[in-house]
Structure 1
């Protein structure tokens, strides 16, 4: 064999070269860990276990209001608007409703006098799918096919003005000082 003749690589060498040349594309996608976390979370909820999830990402953000007559009226308004309100969790002990809204809603949420919208790095505990009454947080409205739209929700809350507002209690819970 002369020095100028091409050297043919074995199949194993060719595969190794392809793997090495793939570089970053060969690495798992950055969002795969998030996807795995989402799948584990949804399986836990489906298995009837409460589970803590991180807000934001591709799942949802949360709008927090007080519970009570005005907030329940807002749920009824959203029932009318949506043909059945999107998912709402009630924490009767805390006196709050958690409205699950589309991801990145917090980026567009204007300061509101009767509600707060949170996203990452905050978390929320999703009650098991069969929990529909106290004790503990439970599904006030459970919907698997839609989230609560922020535009109509914001308008309903501005009109109905559920009290007390969650701002001071959330600030205290999150350790925010003014």
Structure 2
């Protein structure tokens, strides 16, 4: 019951125009991180066509990344991919308020809707075809403090 209350508080914060931090995985969503830029915009256009309006995507102009919200559990099935990294629990993400649709700061490039997330398999194919650069792996590893032994 406490988990449900936390989710409801989080969604109310976002709806009220406040940025809020949420835990990935669980019953909400996982996130695929890609670079931004021209090829990522082309991927977004392709996902718009595939999905008849792409599911929720957050752009962070500072990092140059796009965050594609995919169904929970996707990271457990996401195989290594040069152009996208899928993360879930125990990581968290800060969701911008629902009314933030432009910079400064992270904003909704495609708004969040309660009835859809980005389907991971079509997204994998689009990323493999369009190859948005740079690959997010090195930047993400640095941001998470992951180093090679």
Structure-2-length-normalised TM-score: 0.97
Among residues 55, 61, 64, which one is paired with 2:24 in the alignment? 55
> Number of aligned pairs?
147
Q: 1:60: how far off?
A: 0.0
Is residue 89 of structure 1 aligned with residue 58 of structure 2? Answer: yes
Deviations 1:118-138 (A, max 9, x none): 001111010001100000000
The runs of at least 4 consecutive aligned structure 1 residues that moved more than 3 Å come to none
**For 2:55, what is the secondary structure of its paired residue?**
coil
CA RMSD of aligned residues (A): 0.6
**For 2:58, what is the secondary structure of its paired residue?**
strand
| Rg (Cα) greater in structure | 1
Deviations 1:84-142 (A, max 9, x none): 00000000011000000000000000000011000011110100011000000000001
Q: Which residue of 1 aligns with 2:110?
A: 141
Contact 1:69 1:162 (8 Å CA) reproduced: yes
Q: Which residue of 1 aligns with 2:96?
A: 127
Higher relative contact order (CA 8 A, sep 6+): 2
Q: Unpaired runs of 5+ in structure 2?
A: none
Q: Unpaired runs of 5+ in structure 1?
A: 1-31
Structure-1-length-normalised TM-score: 0.81
